[in-house]
Chain A
Amino acid sequence: GAGVSQSPSNKVTEKGKDVELRCDPISGHTALYWYRQSLGQGLEFLIYFQGNSAPDKSGLPSDRFSAERTGGSVSTLTIQRTQQEDSAVYLCASSLGLGEETQYFGPGTRLLVL
């Protein structure tokens, strides 16, 4: 089927507002990852979901960031009280999990905080 999809593709918001970013992983993939990529930079790990296990939140930069994964499929990354330094591309990836490491990425959501 289709690859990883993300929405919206672009988001412009004002400082202090909350935003929600959505990720639809590849069907059947049990692992889901969120990354952040600033302009000209590598990828910064944010959070990892694997099946029904507790997520690995070790990469979240502050308590303004949170993520959920409902029904083991769709995931939402929420950023509360956005700051200008949150401006970046937020990438979602999924993998088969259970030892299959290759991650397949969505196109990303470009977030601009004014």
Chain B
Amino acid sequence: GESVGLHLPTLSVQEGDNSIINCAYSNSASDYFIWYKQESGKGPQFIIDIRSNMDKRQGQRVTVLLNKTVKHLSLQIAATQPGDSAVYFCAENIKGNNRKLIWGLGTSLAVNP
């Protein structure tokens, strides 16, 4: 048979490797960006955020990079673990847009033991 439906981009990595998840955002007026992690059957969970006046922000094992010139956002996960397996969403907030986040489609990260 033939499958129908949208398939999320998938990134498959080996446990212990670093992961890089990319996101292109749409609006040059966006001033705030967030990465969320969504595990199966759960709501999205906040990972890290960054404002447009910054290029880089680091958290625990995660780093977010923002390139405003090409409207590109990336999430780097160091030493990826099986528990990192999830769908990762980037979201942008357009300045003055009443704090409604605009969400990307998501990237599925699969960590192989």
Which residues in window 1-48 of A have CB below 8 A to B? 4, 31, 33, 39-45, 48
Q: Please count how many residues in chain A sit with their CB below 8 Å of the partner chain's CB atoms.
A: 26
A45 and B101 within 8 A (CB): yes
Quote the shortest CB–CB distance from A104 to chain B (angstroms).
Answer: 7
B99 and A41 within 8 A (CB): no
B32: which of A31, A40, A101, A106 is its contact (CB, 8 Å)?
Answer: A101
Nearest-CB residue, chain B, relative to A53 = B98
Which residues in window 59-109 of A have CB below 8 A to B? 59, 91, 93, 95, 97, 101-108
Which residues in window 59-113 of B have CB below 8 A to A? 89, 91, 93, 98-106
A42 and B89 within 8 A (CB): yes
Nearest-CB residue, chain A, relative to B43 = A105
Nearest-CB residue, chain B, relative to A98 = B99
CB neighbours (8 Å) of A48 from chain B are 98-100
B8 at the A interface (CB under 8 A): yes
Nearest-CB residue, chain A, relative to B8 = A40
Nearest-CB residue, chain A, relative to B100 = A45
A91 and B98 within 8 A (CB): no
Interface hub of B5, B43, B46 (most chain A Cβ within 10 A): B43
CB neighbours (8 Å) of A39 from chain B are 5
Quote the shortest CB–CB distance from B107 to chain A (angstroms).
Answer: 11
A105 to B98, CA, bound (A): 18
A4 to B98, CA, bound (A): 21
A59 to B102, CA, bound (A): 11
CB neighbours (8 Å) of A41 from chain B are 6, 105-106
A107 and B99 within 8 A (CB): no
B44: which of A31, A40, A45, A91 is its contact (CB, 8 Å)?
Answer: A91
A107: which of B5, B43, B98, B105 is its contact (CB, 8 Å)?
Answer: B43
Please report B residues at the A interface, Cβ cutoff 8 Å: 5-8, 32, 34, 36, 41-46, 49, 89, 91, 93, 98-106
Q: Closest 3 CB pairs between A and B? A: A105-B43, A42-B103, A43-B103
